[in-house]
Amino acid sequence: MSFEIEEELLPGQQQLKTRFKNRNRLGIVANILTIAKTGALKTHLMYKANLSYTMLRDYLKFLRDNELLSESYYPDEKVTLYKTTEKGTRFLESYVALKDLAAPIIDRKPFISGLKVEPEKQAGEITGSEDILGARK
C-alpha cells in the first residue's frame, strides 16, 4: 500500500508527490518542507507527513537548527506556525532536481530482467533440436 500527498499549488509551482513507501530521511525532510511552504501547524505536519509525534519533533528540531524551517508563535491565537525558509526552498529545489536527474537510474529495471528465460520443458519432452539422449543436433 502506498499513500501520496498532493499539496495545493501556487501559480508556477511544480507538484511534488511523496510516496510513503520506503522513505528515506531526505524524502521525509522534503515532505515536511513541502507541507510547510505556506505555513502549517505541528498537527498538520504530523498527519500530512504521516509521522509520529516523537519523529516529527526530532525532524522539526533538525530543520530549525539548520535554518530550513522557521517557527513563529502567535500569542493571540496561541498557535505555533511552521514555515519553509528561503534556505529550505532552495533545498527543496535541489532535492527535486537531483531526484529528476537520478530518476532514469532509480526507475530502470534490474539488470537480470534483461535475460531471456526459455519456457521449461516437461520431463522427457524432446524438442526438434535434440536427439533422444538430449544432445543438441
Domain edges within the chain: 14-108
Q: Does residue 64 have a pLDDT over 90?
A: yes
CATH of span 14-108: 1.10.10.10
Matching residue, cell 524438442: 127
137/84: higher pLDDT:
84
The model's pLDDT over 44-58, given as tens digits with 9 standing for 90+, comes to 999 999 999 999 999
Q: What pLDDT score was predicted for residue 35?
A: 96
Written as one string, the DSSP assignment of 66-130 is TTSEEEEEETTTTEEEEEE-HHHHHHHHHHHHHHHHHHHHHHSPPGGGGS--PPPPPTT---TTB
- Residue length of the chain: 137
Q: Which of 54, 13, 20 is nearest to 34 (CA)?
A: 13
Q: Against a cut of 0.85, is the pTM above it?
A: no
The whole-number pLDDT of residue 67 equals 97
What's the rounded Cα separation, in Å, for the pair 21 and 127? 46
Confidence of residue 103 (pLDDT cuts 50, 70, 90): confident
